[in-house]
Amino acid sequence: MCGIAGYFNIQHDQEKSLHLLERMIWPLHHRGPDGFGFFQDKRAGLAHARLSIIDLEGGWQPIHNEDKTLWIIFNGEIFNYPELRRQLISRGHRFTTHSDTEVILHLYEEKGERCLDDLNGQFAIAIYDQQKQELFLARDRMGIRPLFYSFHNGRFYFASEIKSIFSADPGIPRQINREVIQEIFTFWSPAGTETVFEDVEQLDPGCWLKIDNQGRVEQHQYWQIPFGTATQSTATEAELAEQLRELLIDSTRLRLRADVPVGAYLSGGLDSSTITSLIKHFTDNELKTFSVTFSDKVYDEQQEQQEMVDFLQTDHHSIRCTYDSIGRAFPDVIRHTETPILRTAPTPLYLLSSLVRKHDYKVVLTGEGADEILGGYDIFKEAKVRAFIAGQADSSCRPFLLKRLYPYLTLSPSKSAEYARRFFDTDASVDDIFYGHRPRWKTTSGTHLFLRDDLVENPGQTPLDKLENIWQNRLQDMDFFSRTQFLESRLLLGNYLLCSQGDRMAMAHSVEGRFPFLDHRVVEFACTIPPHLRMKALNEKNILKKSMVDLLPAGIVKRKKQPYMAPDILSFFGDNTPEYIEYYLSEQKIKESGLFKHKAVERLLTKCRKKSRQGFRENMAFVGILSTQILYDTFVDNFQVDMPEKLKNIKVVNDCVMILNREKQWLKP
């Protein structure tokens, strides 16, 4: 696991600039604190910050092929690399390391971009063909690892994080993309490949990009989540459960491959409990687990966590999150997310990864992805209930069905049948491609009243228009349940959870998260489960529960899902309101960013000071506004890169590669 960055000179060569690569890689040192590596010629430059997990001594990057015509930098892991390496050796390839990185390079040498089909992993890859003078970038199927890029003054820049691109050249504009702000305040994430910063895009999950020596850009999608296109299985529930279990056992085993200890997150829910149980029962890995507890009992799952710890006898460690600890850490969280967020949920995970690192662990397995691919979210229940009600208009069960939703929420929209009716009423038919998401987006769009009028009264396309243009053809032939799962997987999982909560919060403390549920074989299998069996009636993750019934306590299997959440407004008002609130939300700073109505923000602040437990809209609006203001101040108003002395006046090994490890010794890769 690492950080990567680099540039490609379009249509012309320029003088080598090692200092440029230094400026780009240093902001990523949290992703790779174990050392730095560089390659450059007059056309391209590659930089790498290493978190050593595989082949600790030999896996330094950049890595080249036998004749030094191909150079690679790589962020992530290829879990099936030993098998691929043996195949490549049998076909005559010669290796100089035992790393998974070199496996990718030899596969690319043999198959070109088709090598991606062979990889089981989570990755962002950059390969420079020095002979052809072309650059190849690729991102894993589910978008677990980030990869951003931008064009400026005849150069193409790319990096694991946007701050690296901004560090490359002070002339690169750092401006907020106002359309994307509106999208985030609707969907929680950008609708497409654009980021919150103008002219900075991300490579889509399951895509590759190539730039040739004439500056021509080619993009291609090599994989897509096959909801709606996969042939539905005719197997029985028991057979499906057994198949899923076997896949998850293998996926978990693969993700334990490392030359360092591997731990696991344990939330007390079904997903993380599944992974820890599989580790315990089907591997000989030492099981050390980590979890978050909350001082606010509304969010706390300590009892369930302890039940699993006792059941599996794990070596367990936890960190307790209070309102104060969340409020204190929030600005640092936004510096790492590099995007506005509408809930504080990433913050406890940021604190949790610091606990993992304090125990000298670099790798943890987590349960992300199970809800999206196996039918676990309440939004899927909502869609089923609404579809039933629409087809059974005279049914006396309607109020009772609504009241079965969200029993864990203090302020549930289904507590009152009339309120629930208004909450879920969207006038959308089941054939509407956004049927499952309309109620949620309607609620989130309530935050638009805080946006400046010129943001929401844009004569161009609305966020929903844009989303429809992107996904209309892909979604129109799916059943409503699969459509809802697909959108949740691409928007919430891909653009929010895996980025803001997954990669960024773990890598902020140099910890790599691995996700057994997001093995592409597991995802492809999940798409073959008939929709009525993914969620049987209102029983979420039906097949997963059946697959784990003999490996988990009955209370964990039967427990109704409680989504991971954290206190929002409560974390910022009370006895210890952070001093930065007055700074970021002052009239001056609100006017400087030019994104929000100051009077509306001031009214919200007044409400929060009087009563810090507010409703959905107020919580989302407050966190969204605050995170956007922090983002603007950090990356637009006051962005700077403080280069340490140890990366100045360095020398180059072999005229092209330099690596500095933690002992400050020069090493050859």
C-alpha 666/C-alpha 669 separation (Å) is: 10
C-alpha 403/C-alpha 401 separation (Å) is: 5
* Residue 2 known to be catalytic: yes
Q: Which residues of 35-52 are buried (b: 16+ CB within 10 A; e: fewer)?
A: bbbbbbbebbbbbbbbbb
Q: Which residue has the tokens 């500056």?
A: 215
What amino acid occupies position 59? Answer: G
C-alpha 521/C-alpha 527 separation (Å) is: 10
Largest CA distance in the chain: 79
- Going from the C-alpha of 116 to that of each of 42, 113, 166, 361, the distances in angstroms are 28, 6, 29, 29
Phi and psi angles of residue 562, each rounded to the nearest 5 degrees, phi first: -115, 105
Q: Is the dihedral of CA 530, 532, 538, 542 positive or negative?
A: negative
Alpha helices by DSSP H, 283-431 = 302-312, 323-337, 346-358, 370-374, 378-391, 398-403, 417-424
Q: How far is CA 519 from the centre of its chain?
A: 15
Residues found in the chain: 669
- Going from the C-alpha of 54 to that of each of 101, 302, 416, the distances in angstroms are 9, 33, 54
E-strand ranges in 351-506 read: 363-365
Phi and psi angles of residue 453, each rounded to the nearest 5 degrees, phi first: -60, -35
C-alpha 222/C-alpha 231 separation (Å) is: 19
* Rg of the chain (C-alpha set): 25
Phi and psi angles of residue 213, each rounded to the nearest 5 degrees, phi first: -75, -5
C-alpha 422/C-alpha 344 separation (Å) is: 27
Question: What count of Cα atoms within 13 Å lies in the side-chain half-sphere of residue 646?
Answer: 14
The DSSP code for 115 is G
Q: Which of 2, 207, 321, 527 is catalytic?
A: 2
- Active-site residue set: 2
